[in-house]
């Protein structure tokens, strides 16, 4: 969205730094206005919902521009796009009434996404499987390297460089 402030002085030409500063402050105010209860209630009514509790709103505005970015996340893509577009329309109307702003113009209307924006489950599952296998192999190798027990006569001969003369037989009880 782009915030355009009302200019009552039509005789003056050009944009001053004061105009830019005012525009940036108005952009910040419109960003705050988007999160107000009045706007959320009006948006919910316009799209036929009781409330917007199941939708997550992300509003960003730079301090150096008059552009506001609105992202809405929800379970139903079609309804989420409707909520985003209705939010912009409602904010434009409320900002004109309350703040005497000339307009809040839409740069890119919300559209229904073709793919989910959530995590890619197949990739995370594959990474989890490979990480689990790697961890299991690493544990086995480390346990084997840290095991210093002597298990048979051949290992004893290698350690002390002396031949084994005898051994105790295993007794099964």
Reported confidence tier of residue 14, pLDDT bands at 50, 70, 90: low
Q: Residue 97 — pLDDT band, cuts 50, 70, 90?
A: confident
Q: Is 169 left (phi over 0), alpha (psi -120 to 50) or beta?
A: beta
Mean pLDDT of 48-57: 88
Model confidence at 163: pLDDT above 60: yes
Q: Which two tokens stand for residue 7?
A: 């200019």
What is residue 131's predicted lDDT score, i.e. its pLDDT? Answer: 97
Sketch the domain layout of the chain as residue ranges. 2-105, 121-160
Q: Is 61 exposed, middle or buried (0-12, 13-18, 19+ CB in 10 A)?
A: buried
Burial of 140 (0-12, 13-18, 19+ CB in 10 A): exposed
- Both tokens of residue 48? 């036929």
Q: What integer pLDDT is reported at residue 7 of this predicted model?
A: 54
- Position 5 scores a pLDDT of 58
pTM above 0.75, yes or no: no
Q: How confident is the model at residue 89 (pLDDT cuts 50, 70, 90)?
A: confident
The sign one gets for the Cα dihedral 49, 70, 4, 111 is negative
Q: Of 6-10, 118-122, 125-129, which has the strongest mean pLDDT? A: 125-129
Give the length of the chain. Answer: 173
Give residue 153's pLDDT.
84
Is residue 61 within 8 A of residue 67, CB to CB? The reply is: yes
| Measured distance CA(80)–CA(49) in Å, rounded | 11
Confidence of residue 169 (pLDDT cuts 50, 70, 90): confident
The rounded percent of the chain whose pLDDT value lies above 90 is: 14
Angle at 37 (CA atoms; ends 31, 38), nearest 5 degrees: 90
* Residue 94 structure tokens: 């409320």
- Tens-place pLDDT, residues 127-136: 999 999 999 9
């Amino acid at each position: 969205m782009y915030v355009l402030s009302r200019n009552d002085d039509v005789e003056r030409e050009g944009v001053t730094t004061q105009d830019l500063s005012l525009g940036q402050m108005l952009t910040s105010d419109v960003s705050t206005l988007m999160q107000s209860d009045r706007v959320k209630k009006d948006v919910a009514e316009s799209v036929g919902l009781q409330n917007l509790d199941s939708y997550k709103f992300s509003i960003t505005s730079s301090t150096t521009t008059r552009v506001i970015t609105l992202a809405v996340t929800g379970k139903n893509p079609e309804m989420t796009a409707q909520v985003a577009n209705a939010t912009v329309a409602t904010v434009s109307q409320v900002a004109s009434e309350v703040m005497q702003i000339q307009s809040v113009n839409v740069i890119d209307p919300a559209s229904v996404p073709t793919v989910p924006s959530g995590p890619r489950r197949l990739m995370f599952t594959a990474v989890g499987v490979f990480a689990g296998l790697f961890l299991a192999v690493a544990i086995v190798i480390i346990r084997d390297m840290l095991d210093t027990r002597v298990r048979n006569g051949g290992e004893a001969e290698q350690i002390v460089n002396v031949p084994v003369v005898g051994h105790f037989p295993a007794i099964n009880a």
